[in-house]
Amino acid sequence: MDTSLVTTIIETLRTPVMFVVVLSIVVFIHEYGHFWVARRNGVYCEAFSIGFGPELFGWNDKHGTRWKVCLLPLGGYVKMFGMEDQPTDEATGEPREFTEQEKSVAFNEKTLGQRAAVVVAGPAANFILAIVVFAILAMAVGTPNSSSLVGEVVAESAAEEAGLAEGDRIIRVDGTQIATFEELTTAIRPRAGDELLITIDRGGNMLDVLATPKTRTIGSGDDVQTIGMLGVAAARDTAGPFVALWQGTHRTFDTTVQIFVVIGQIITGERSAKELGGPLSIAKWSGEVSQAGFFVFLNYIALISVNLGLINLFPIPVLDGGHLAMYAAEKVRGRPPGPRFQEYSLRIGLALILLLMVFVTWNDVMHHDVFGIGG
């Protein structure tokens, strides 16, 4: 087969395949959180599904749970006995009460605390996944060192052409003292195309080199900027397991805060809601980060996992947060909200989710010019 054809096929399939991989991983972890806590609270789980629609393949475990992969890989679910369906009489087809044996394994017969634990376990599993992934990255890749020590020289960059090497410490740029990587960036960005005298410390020896930062354009529309790029990356400090776990937790928390900040800016009008992305954006980035290396791909999975966990905690019926809101109302009232209230809440929640999906998908269509109508 023609090599160019094989390459074209691989590149064409990369984006949808990696989208399915990313989504399947974060959804599996989310649903497994529900499943694991449900099982430990005595709830019978009838099915664990990745995807929706017709089953492609599956198997039954020793507890009777059907594990399956379905045709449409756009989510997943755990079907728990007694969570939604009322049992029916086999002879008449009419609804009936749970038997004592069924009550012992039915979700809705569990205590309020047990039900809340099962529901919150899904988002919690996503946050745990992010913490673990960020911790792995902290141990394997490390975090950028704040000093002016060069950790990597980009190929064909101004730094490579000037003879800079990994391990060099940048001391001065055109006479300006440099102590941190942030100061180096500040000194280089406005000097695109200018020849600069850079003083470096190489193993205790002071050397002067000449470098001309290359020009790079960032931003779009009215926010286009031209900046200078030297082509060096900061040295990175790796961490031990305990420090890495702390760093992973801290980064997960920071990512969560950043999401709230963006949401707040959209609500106040500081940012446009058109920036919100949907499935097409996730698919696009999944394909791109998969080409940037394994650790970059891992980082992206962690970010998507935080987003999925947080979104599911929003108090919207249909989402986990909506169920938790119902349980909070049950705790205050001493009894669950009535069936009619729950039914209308679910309808409203489903409508909101569908509207949001339509909106972000339209944003995707416009941003990526899917049908040649984008701006």
The residues annotated as belonging to the active site are 31
8 A C-beta contact, residue 298 and residue 133: yes
- CA separation for the pair 175, 221 (Å, rounded): 35
Q: What is the DSSP string of 306-328?
A: HHHHHHHTSS-TTSHHHHHHHHH
Q: CA quadruple 265, 268, 269, 270: dihedral positive or negative? A: negative
- CA separation for the pair 71, 197 (Å, rounded): 60
Going from the C-alpha of 113 to that of each of 37, 45, 226, 331, 361, the distances in angstroms are 12, 18, 56, 10, 37
8 A C-beta contact, residue 45 and residue 38: yes
Q: Could you tell me which of 40, 43, 61, 41 has the C-alpha nearest to residue 102?
A: 43
8 A C-beta contact, residue 150 and residue 163: no
- CA separation for the pair 292, 300 (Å, rounded): 11
- Contacts (Cβ under 8 Å, ≥6 apart) of 198: 162, 164, 170, 172, 173, 174, 208, 209, 210, 211
Going from the C-alpha of 296 to that of each of 13, 49, 285, the distances in angstroms are 19, 28, 11
- CA separation for the pair 176, 190 (Å, rounded): 14
- CA separation for the pair 277, 298 (Å, rounded): 20
Going from the C-alpha of 210 to that of each of 9, 133, 155, 270, the distances in angstroms are 44, 40, 17, 42
Q: Could you tell me which of 200, 201, 176, 197 has the C-alpha nearest to residue 186?
A: 176
356: number of Cβ within 10 Å = 14
